[in-house]
Amino acid sequence: MDKNLEIDNIDLKILTLLMHDANMPYTEIGKRIFVSGGTVHVRMKKMEQMGIVRGSQLVIDHAKLGWDISAFLGIYLDKSSLYDEVASELMRIPEVVNIHYTTGIYSIFAKIVCRDTQHLREVLHDKIQKVSGIQRTETFISLEERILRPIPFGVNVPVEKEFSEKH
C-alpha cells in the first residue's frame, strides 16, 4: 500500500506550519488547525515512522558566522557506477552540505560552504579532487541565495510570514 495514501489534509496542514516554523509548539499548531496538541503529536509520530518526517534543521546564515562562500560543484565521475563510493567519501568532507545524483553532464551536483576563497581552494584541491573516482569538477560560486522555502502542499493554513522573508 502506498504510504502517502495515509496522509490527509490535517497532516499536510501540520507539515506546512512546521516547515514555516519548526519551533512552533504542537499546542499552537492544534489551535490553528482546530485539533488538540495531542493529535498533532500522534500524527507527527506517525509521519516520522512512515519516513515522511526525517528530522528538523536549524537554518543558519553561514555568512554571519564568517563562512562567506557558497559554491556548487558539477562533479564528473570516471564511471557512474562509482557514485556510492564517491558519495560516501564526499559525506566525510564537512564543507560538503548536500549532494545530488543527477542526469545531464554531471554525475553529481554538490553544494559546499567555505570561509573564504582560500578555504574553497583548499577544499577543492586537497579534499574533493583527491576523492578516488572523481574525474574533474566545475565550480559555480553563489553570489546570493534569494529563495529558501518549503514546497506548497495546496492546503489553506494561516502562517505568520513567508519562509523566505524570515530567513
Nearest to 113 by CA among 142, 89, 146: 142
On whether both 97 and 134 belong to a single domain, the answer is yes
Write down which residue in 55, 71, 90 finishes a domain. Answer: 55
So what's the pLDDT on residue 145?
Answer: 92
Domain ranges, residue 29:
3-55
Residue 139: CB atoms within 10 A of its CB come to 14
pLDDT tens across 22-31, in order?
A: 999 999 999 9
pLDDT tens across 102-130, in order?
A: 999 999 999 999 999 999 999 999 999 99
CATH code, domain with 121 = 3.30.70.920
Look at residue 82 and tell me if it is in a domain.
yes
Distances (CA, A) of 92 to 71, 119, 123: 18, 17, 12
Q: Phi, psi (5° rounding) for residue 98?
A: -165, 155
On whether both 45 and 98 belong to a single domain, the answer is no
pLDDT tens across 52-95, in order?
A: 999 888 889 999 999 999 999 999 999 999 999 999 999 999 99
Region of poorest pLDDT, from 6-10, 48-52, 120-124, 163-167: 163-167
On whether both 82 and 38 belong to a single domain, the answer is no
Number of domains in the chain: 2
Confidence of residue 1 (pLDDT cuts 50, 70, 90): very low
So what's the pLDDT on residue 6?
Answer: 84
On whether both 39 and 74 belong to a single domain, the answer is no
